[in-house]
Chains A and B, each alone.
Chain A
Amino acid sequence: MLSVHFALFLIFALVCVAGAVNLLVQRHPINSALSLVVVMGSLAVEYLLLGAEFVAAVQVIVYAGAIMVLFVFVIMLLNAGEEERTQGSRVALLLGIPGMLVGSILIAWVVLNHSGTGSVEAGALPGPPKTLGWLLFHDFLLPFEVTSILVLIAIMGAVVLAARPEKREG
C-alpha cells in the first residue's frame, strides 16, 4: 500500500544512500563533502517524516549548516586536490562488492529479528520541542551534562593543538 508518507520515505532514503555512495566514488574531496551535505539533508527530511521536527531543524542548522561548512572550509583551505588513481584489483571488485552486500543484508536481518526492541509507528511519540526539552533536562540530565563536558574536552584539545608555541626568552 503506497501511501504518500511511504513514497516520500523511500525517495529520500534513496537520495541518502545515493549521496553516501557518491561520497565514496567521487575523486575530488569537495564533491565528497557536498555529497555528505546531501546525506545530512535527506536525514533531516527522514526525521521530519518521523514527526521529530525540532531534531530535523537542528540537524540542518548544526550538521548541514555548520559542521559540513567547516569540512568544506578545511578542504578549501588545504587546497586538497583530486585523488590519484592507483592500480585497483579486479578480484577485490568481483568478490568484494557482492560479499559486502551479502554481509550487510545478513547483519541487518539478524539485528532486526533479534534486537529485542519493538518498533514504533511514525508519529506515535511526541516530537514538539517542549517534550524534547523536558526529557533532556529531567530524564536524561546526566548524559546531557556528560556530553557537554566531552565537547569541552574536545574544544580544549583543539585550542592546545592549534596554539602557537610559546616564545622563549634569550
Chain B
Amino acid sequence: MGIGLFIFISLIKIVIGLAVLLTGVAYSVWLERKVVGHIQNRWGPTRVGPFGLLQPLADGAKLLFKEDLLPPNVYKPLYIAAPMIAIICAVASISVIPIGNSVTVFGVTTPLQITDVNISLLIILGITSLGVYGVALSGWSSNSKYSLLGGLRASAQMVSYEIALGLSLVGVLIMAGSFSLRDIVDAQAGHCWGFIPRWNIFTGQFVAFFIYLTAAYAETNRIPFDLPEAETELVAGYHTEYSAMKFAMFFMAEYANMITVSCVATLLFLGGWHGPVFGPPILQAFLPVFWFVAKVFVFMLIYIWVRGTLPRFRYDQLMAFGWKVLLPLAIVNLIATALAVAW
C-alpha cells in the first residue's frame, strides 16, 4: 500500500470516526435525558421529533446561536484555549481505538482502527492526563471563586484517580503481554469450558473491572464523583463563566470522555468485538462492529443508570476513597495477577 493511499484511507477513517463520535456524543446526551427522566418517573424530551430524537439538533442550534460572552477580567488566552484543550484531548483518543477486524472495501484491506501503534493503551492514558489541563486552566482563567474552586477540586480529583485507573489496567496488561489494544482484544478470543467467553472480566480481572469503573467515573467527573460541577455546591464549577459554544465544547468533551472510557473498558475487560459471528461474509464483517457498539452502549447505560441513582460523595470522602481504598486495592490486584501469571 503506497503512502498516498494510506494517507487517503486514514483521512477517510478520521472523518468517519469523528462524525460517528460527535453523533454519539449528541445522542448520548439524549439517552441520558431520557433514561434519567424515566428513573425519576417522568418522560424526558418528547416534543422535538418522535421520542424527542431531534432534541440534540435543537440543543446544538441553540448553543450555536447563543451570545458568546467574554467576561471582563478573565485571562483571555487561557480562557479561550481551555475548552479547546478539553475537546481536543477528548476526541483524540479515538484515533487508537479499534472497533473490529480488518475489512476489505473495494479491494483495499484496512484494519478498523485509525492507527495501530504498539503502545495504544499508553497513548490513551497520556491523552487523558493531558485533558486535566482543560479543566484546571478554565477554572483559574475565569477569575471567579466558584470556577477556581471547581477547577482545583476537579484537577486534584482527576490526578488522584488516574493512578488507580492506570494500576487497574496493568493486571490486564500482564495477562495480555502487550500494550497494543488489538493484541489485548485478540488475547480474549475463544472460550473456556465451552461456553464462557474468555473475556478478561471472567478470567480473573473481576476486581480490576470494578476498580476501573469507579476510577473512570471519577476521571470523567460523573456522579457519584461530580462535586466539582455540582449545581448546589459550586454553581457549575469550572465551566460557570462559559457560554454558548465554549460551554458546548466542555459538554461535548465530557460525553466524549465517557464514550472513550466505555470503549477502553469494552476492549480490555469485555473482549472488544468478540461475539457470535455467523452468516454470509457481509454479515461476518458487520457483526463484530455490532457487538462492540452493543457493549459500549451497555456501558453508557450503566453510566447513566448510576447517575440517576446514587448521591454524590463529599470531597474529602472522595479523595480518601481514591487514595485509601482504590489505590491499595489496585496494587493488591496487580500483585495477585502477577503471582497468578508467574505460576
Residues of A within 8 A of B (CB): 30, 37, 53-54, 57-58, 60-61, 64-66, 69-70, 72-73, 76-77, 128-129
Residue B133 interfacial (CB < 8 Å): yes
Q: Are A77 and B152 in contact (CB under 8 A)?
A: yes
- B148 touches A (CB below 8 Å): yes
Whether the pair B119, A54 counts as a contact (CB closer than 8 A) is yes
Find out whether the CB atom of A53 lies under 8 angstroms from the CB atom of B117: yes
Interface pair A69/B122, CB less than 8 Å apart: no
Please give, as numbers and ranges, the residues of chain A lying within 8 Å of B322 by CB-CB distance.
none
Measured between beta carbons, the chain B residues less than 8 angstroms from A65 are 126, 128-130, 132, 162
Which A residues lie within 8 Å of B156 (CB)?
73
Minimal beta-carbon separation of A144 from chain B (angstroms):
16
Whether B129 pairs with A76 at a CB distance below 8 angstroms is: no
Kindly identify which residue among B75, B119, B159, B166 contacts A70, using a CB–CB cutoff of 8 Å.
B159
**How many residues on the B side are at the interface (Cβ–Cβ under 8 A)?**
27
Residues of chain A contacted by B78 (CB below 8 angstroms): 30
Which of B78, B117, B128, B130 has the most A CB atoms < 10 Å from its CB? B130
B125 and A73 contacting across the interface, CB-CB below 8 Å = no
The 4 closest A-B pairs by CB, nearest first: A65-B129, A57-B122, A60-B126, A76-B140
Contact A69 B132 (CB under 8 A): yes
B299-311 near A? 1/0 per residue, CB < 8 Å? 0000000000000
Tell me the bound Cα distance from A70 to B136 in angstroms. Answer: 10
Q: With A60-B129, A61-B129, A66-B159 given, is the CB distance from A73 to B136 under 8 Å? A: yes
Distance to closest chain B CB from A28 (angstroms): 8
**When the two chains form their complex, are residues A37 and B133 in contact, meaning their CB atoms are under 8 A apart?**
yes
Cβ–Cβ < 8 Å partners of B119 in chain A:
53-54, 57, 129
With a cutoff of 8 Å between Cβ atoms, the chain A residues found around residue B118 in the complex are 53, 128
Residues of A within 8 A of B123 (CB): 57
Cβ contacts under 8 Å, A54 to chain B: 119, 122, 179
- Asked if B133 and A61 sit within 8 Å, CB to CB, the answer is no
Contact A61 B159 (CB under 8 A): no
Taken together as a complex, chains A and B put the C-alpha atoms of A53 and B126 apart, in Å, by 12
Question: Knowing that A57-B119, A69-B129 are A-B contacts, what are 14 other residue pairs whose CB atoms are under 8 Å apart, sorted by A's residue number?
Answer: A53-B117, A54-B179, A57-B122, A57-B125, A57-B126, A64-B130, A66-B129, A69-B133, A69-B155, A70-B159, A72-B133, A76-B140, A76-B152, A128-B118
